[in-house]
A and B are shown apart, each in its own frame.
Chain A
Amino acid sequence: MTVSHQQANRRSHSAGDHGFPWSHIAGYILSVVLTASALWLAVAHAGRPVWRLSAILSLASAQIFVQLFLFMHITESHGPRYHVLALVLAAVFTLTVVMGSIWIMSFNGTQAY
């Protein structure tokens, strides 16, 4: 850490002091609600399996945006170009993991989901 780092830190501190962190509270409540809804869908066996799965996936996508916008400072500044690369990579990995898991766990169409 150098002197200029220190100054940069102070500047960002003073810029970020906007009193009560409403967006964080909202983000927290939203993420809890989204998770609880997904759990309820699964526990209550609500609707047909394909609709249930679609609903849960939509809730998960919404969750990603809640995390990115309300917690992870994605709107805060114009970062270097590798930020975009990192987000694209994250999207690729997330899609692979989610779609891959559904593909694998559907056992060639023999499972109901």
Chain B
Amino acid sequence: MPVSPANLTGHFFVTGDPLIYGADASILLASAAVVFVLTYYKKWRWLWREWLTTVDHKKIGVMYLMAALLMLFRGGVDAILMRTQLMLPNMKFLAAEHYNQIFTTHGTIMILFMAMPLIFAMFNIAVPLQIGARDVAFPYLNAISFWLFFFGAMLLNLSFVIGGSPDAGWTSYPPLAGLGFDRGPGENFYLLALQVSGIGSMATGINFIVTILKMRAPGMTLTKMPLFTWSVLASSILIIYAFPALTAALALLLIDRVAGAHFFTMTQGGNAMMYVNLFWIWGHPEVYIVVLPAFGIFSEVFSTFSGKRIFGYTSMWLSLMTISVLSYFVWVHHFFTMGAGPDVNSFFAVASMAVAIPTGVKVFNWLFTMYRGRIRFTVPMLWALAFIPNFAIGGATGVMLAAAPADYQYHNSYFLIAHFHQVLIGGVVYGMLAGMYYWWPKMFGFKLNERLGRWGFWLFNIGFYVCFMPLYPLGLMGMTRRMYVYPAGLHWALLNLISTIGAYVMGIAFILIVIDVLYSIVRGERDVTGDPWNGRTLEWSLPSPAPHYNFARIPAVASRDAWWAMKEQRADDLNSGRQPEPLQPIHMPKNSGRPFILGVFFFVGGFGAVFGWYLLAALGFVGVLFALLSRALEYDTDYYISVEEIERTETALGRS
């Protein structure tokens, strides 16, 4: 039965919890502050022209990064709240219902609205620059991807204060997430928010596959690409094959919820376990979607800061591709306990263990890259180094979990929680922070402070072990995931207390990283060379930040580590007095406000669908159709930058 709107309007604003009133107040104050600052400094026009309508991959990357850091903050606050509630036995800090909402939004936000935009930030910031392109293949679509992610994230975050958050876990399994047990709009928020941002993710996957296959600089064959670009290709292939399964699972659940169908209702001929199956067909490749780009970043960082080319380049991209294919044969290991039979479980257990082989190849290659290298312990290098022991432990516990019979003991215990945080934080977050520190000068033209960065790193790394190591024994002692309270006398209290202390240390580390950013905006070392790390790949051949057309002349690539080769070559060129080729006009896409407006319409439509206000939903989707149609009829989409303007820009940047 669809929920009647009248029933819901009574619960439109979430009431009764002081934490939520606090959130209401802080949202209002923050919004008012933003509006005030923009108005006072007359920046509305600037915001619209420079950011909201941009199709420049570098600016879109920056927006992804900022949004992802905000979401990391929100997901982190959720984590701190949960750890506070679990600090001691019988805590009364959060009520059961509120705890459910918090672990649901923590997981959903961290995977879909933190990890995904963070990898997309790195895609956008680095890939076109690394392959010598002037933008992505479809810049307008790229802007659409960002705004769909942004408004999807807004939709999910809004649920906190309007209508109530989803509370059936980030996996949102029926029947718990079905109408029978969960009538409020919270689950609808989850389903609609993920659908809207999922369209954006899908488009990003397509965009980067085309960009990498079609827009590489002349001479850069696939096997001369930087390894980060290889990892983005692998990740994008996974995105376009995996996301449709999520779309189908969510759509069926949404039809169950709003149209009264019974795809997942056991008593009506449906089968809830099919949702679990579909969800993990996406869900397992998803973890590789987020971790492969991190592998790519580690390859760049290890190579740059060891002053050596990467060891075993061919085996590196081959193992990336092997992991992408293998990741399609492992999804059942998320639900061995469903009991599909020993043959099914054996097959998927062996396939899961096989993933350790290409991953192991990569780890050894990183170690050999450092062997006899001239290692510089910069902040990106510290994050990369700390990743290795992290991933060794995470990988070993992963193989333990992959043993199907043993998994019946570990399943949904804190052992599992410790394992996947070890690989997702130790792999993805460490990787993205390494990437952020590494590419920050390229994005903004100044380096982040190394001293503050080291403090942030060490606190985070120590806090991480203090927080998550106790969870392994807690899991083996019987503590299961998603329990909001536990009695005294189980010997769980000390380990939980230690874990909570670790969570707070990680919180302080995050604040230090933010302070590092703020401090460096004012006092950070300016990057005047464009190559602050003595880099090896093409992005370091450009000024920092790069001009909006990236390359005045598309570089010709002759070998791997193209910029390194050019730097060696350049001395000879200077002696021979060779003249650079003449400039040509550059063809560029025009900015457009439509991707933003399209996002607004998706938001309006999604919001209407959440509450079953079909007039509003229809209005939103008519708007979407209108935006698509008006783009189809638009012809004035591009322009040329004249040679004079390129010369002016290049001279201003100190290049000829």
Chain A binder among B102-110, B178-186, B223-231, B585-593: B585-593
- Per the 8 Å Cβ criterion, residues 81-113 of A in contact with B are 82, 89-90, 92-93, 96-97, 100-101, 103-105, 107-108
B580 located at the interface, meaning its Cβ lies under 8 Å from any Cβ of chain A in the complex: no
A78 located at the interface, meaning its Cβ lies under 8 Å from any Cβ of chain B in the complex: no
Nearest CB of chain A from residue B271's CB, rounded to whole Å: 7
A46 located at the interface, meaning its Cβ lies under 8 Å from any Cβ of chain B in the complex: no
* B-contact 0/1 string along A1-41, CB 8 Å cutoff: 11101100000000000000000000000000000000000
* Minimum CB distance partner of B137 in chain A: A1
* A-contact 0/1 string along B103-145, CB 8 Å cutoff: 0000000000000000000000000000000110000000000
Residues on the A chain within 8 Å of B587, using CB: 1-3, 5-6
A92 CA to B340 CA, complexed, in Å: 22
Partner of B241, one of A2, A93, A108: A93
B35 located at the interface, meaning its Cβ lies under 8 Å from any Cβ of chain A in the complex: no
B568 located at the interface, meaning its Cβ lies under 8 Å from any Cβ of chain A in the complex: no
Nearest CB of chain B from residue A104's CB, rounded to whole Å: 5
Nearest CB of chain A from residue B643's CB, rounded to whole Å: 12
- Per the 8 Å Cβ criterion, residues 11-38 of B in contact with A are none
Residues on the A chain within 8 Å of B281, using CB: 97, 100-101
* Minimum CB distance partner of B241 in chain A: A93
The listed residue with most B CB atoms (<10 A of its CB), out of A90, A97, A103, is A97
A6 CA to B588 CA, complexed, in Å: 10
A107 CA to B339 CA, complexed, in Å: 7
Are B340 and A108 closer than 8 Å at their CB atoms?
yes
Nearest CB of chain B from residue A96's CB, rounded to whole Å: 5
- Per the 8 Å Cβ criterion, residues 364-392 of B in contact with A are none
> What total count of A-B pairs have CB within 8 Å?
55
A100 CA to B284 CA, complexed, in Å: 14
B343 located at the interface, meaning its Cβ lies under 8 Å from any Cβ of chain A in the complex: yes
* A-contact 0/1 string along B231-274, CB 8 Å cutoff: 00000010001000100000000000000000000000001011
B73 located at the interface, meaning its Cβ lies under 8 Å from any Cβ of chain A in the complex: no
A96 CA to B135 CA, complexed, in Å: 35
The listed residue with most B CB atoms (<10 A of its CB), out of A1, A5, A101, is A1
A79 CA to B341 CA, complexed, in Å: 43
Are B328 and A107 closer than 8 Å at their CB atoms?
no
A104 CA to B276 CA, complexed, in Å: 11
B277 located at the interface, meaning its Cβ lies under 8 Å from any Cβ of chain A in the complex: yes
Are A104 and B135 closer than 8 Å at their CB atoms?
no
Partner of B245, one of A3, A6, A82, A97: A97
* Minimum CB distance partner of A6 in chain B: B587
Partner of A97, one of B271, B328, B342: B328
B477 located at the interface, meaning its Cβ lies under 8 Å from any Cβ of chain A in the complex: no
Nearest CB of chain B from residue A21's CB, rounded to whole Å: 12
Residues on the B chain within 8 Å of A2, using CB: 554, 587
B96 located at the interface, meaning its Cβ lies under 8 Å from any Cβ of chain A in the complex: no
Partner of B277, one of A90, A93, A96, A105: A105
Please report whether the interface of chain A is mostly helix, strand, loop or mixed according to DSSP. helix
A97 CA to B278 CA, complexed, in Å: 9
Partner of B589, one of A1, A101, A104, A107: A1
A107 CA to B554 CA, complexed, in Å: 57
* B-contact 0/1 string along A56-87, CB 8 Å cutoff: 00000000000000000000000000100000
Are B328 and A96 closer than 8 Å at their CB atoms?
yes
B565 located at the interface, meaning its Cβ lies under 8 Å from any Cβ of chain A in the complex: no
A107 CA to B274 CA, complexed, in Å: 12
Are B277 and A101 closer than 8 Å at their CB atoms?
yes
Q: Chain B: interface residue count, which band?
A: 20 to 34
Nearest CB of chain A from residue B158's CB, rounded to whole Å: 33
B213 located at the interface, meaning its Cβ lies under 8 Å from any Cβ of chain A in the complex: yes
Residues on the B chain within 8 Å of A3, using CB: 584-585, 587
* Minimum CB distance partner of B339 in chain A: A107
A3 CA to B344 CA, complexed, in Å: 54
* Minimum CB distance partner of B321 in chain A: A89
Partner of B213, one of A82, A89, A107, A108: A82
Knowing A2-B554, A3-B587, say if A104 contacts B340 (CB, 8 Å): yes
B558 located at the interface, meaning its Cβ lies under 8 Å from any Cβ of chain A in the complex: no
Knowing A101-B281, A105-B277, A107-B340, say if A1 contacts B134 (CB, 8 Å): yes
B634 located at the interface, meaning its Cβ lies under 8 Å from any Cβ of chain A in the complex: no
Partner of A96, one of B213, B237, B329: B329
B332 located at the interface, meaning its Cβ lies under 8 Å from any Cβ of chain A in the complex: yes
Residues on the A chain within 8 Å of B342, using CB: 108
Knowing A93-B328, A101-B281, say if A108 contacts B341 (CB, 8 Å): yes
Knowing A2-B554, A97-B245, say if A104 contacts B332 (CB, 8 Å): yes
* A-contact 0/1 string along B301-345, CB 8 Å cutoff: 000000000000000000000000100110110000001111110
* Minimum CB distance partner of B331 in chain A: A100
A90 CA to B481 CA, complexed, in Å: 36
Knowing A96-B329, A104-B344, say if A1 contacts B585 (CB, 8 Å): no
B636 located at the interface, meaning its Cβ lies under 8 Å from any Cβ of chain A in the complex: no
Residues on the A chain within 8 Å of B241, using CB: 89-90, 93
A110 CA to B342 CA, complexed, in Å: 13
B645 located at the interface, meaning its Cβ lies under 8 Å from any Cβ of chain A in the complex: no
Residues on the A chain within 8 Å of B341, using CB: 107-108
- Per the 8 Å Cβ criterion, residues 521-553 of B in contact with A are none
- Per the 8 Å Cβ criterion, residues 565-617 of B in contact with A are 584-585, 587-589
Are A1 and B584 closer than 8 Å at their CB atoms?
no
Residues on the A chain within 8 Å of B343, using CB: 108
Nearest CB of chain A from residue B192's CB, rounded to whole Å: 22
Residues on the B chain within 8 Å of A97, using CB: 245, 281, 328
* Minimum CB distance partner of B281 in chain A: A97
Are A89 and B325 closer than 8 Å at their CB atoms?
yes
Residues on the B chain within 8 Å of A92, using CB: 325, 328
Residues on the A chain within 8 Å of B325, using CB: 89, 92
Residues on the A chain within 8 Å of B329, using CB: 96, 100
B638 located at the interface, meaning its Cβ lies under 8 Å from any Cβ of chain A in the complex: yes
Residues on the B chain within 8 Å of A6, using CB: 587, 638
- Smallest CB-CB A-B distances: 9 pairs: A108-B341, A1-B587, A104-B340, A93-B241, A93-B328, A96-B328, A104-B344, A101-B277, A6-B587
A-B contact pairs, 22 of them (CB 8 A): A1-B134, A3-B585, A3-B587, A82-B213, A89-B241, A92-B325, A96-B329, A97-B281, A97-B328, A100-B329, A100-B331, A101-B274, A101-B281, A103-B344, A104-B340, A105-B271, A105-B273, A105-B277, A105-B340, A107-B341, A108-B341, A108-B343
**Given pairs A92-B325, A104-B277, A108-B340, 11 additional interface contacts (CB within 8 A):** A2-B554, A2-B587, A3-B585, A6-B638, A82-B213, A93-B328, A97-B328, A100-B332, A103-B344, A105-B271, A105-B273
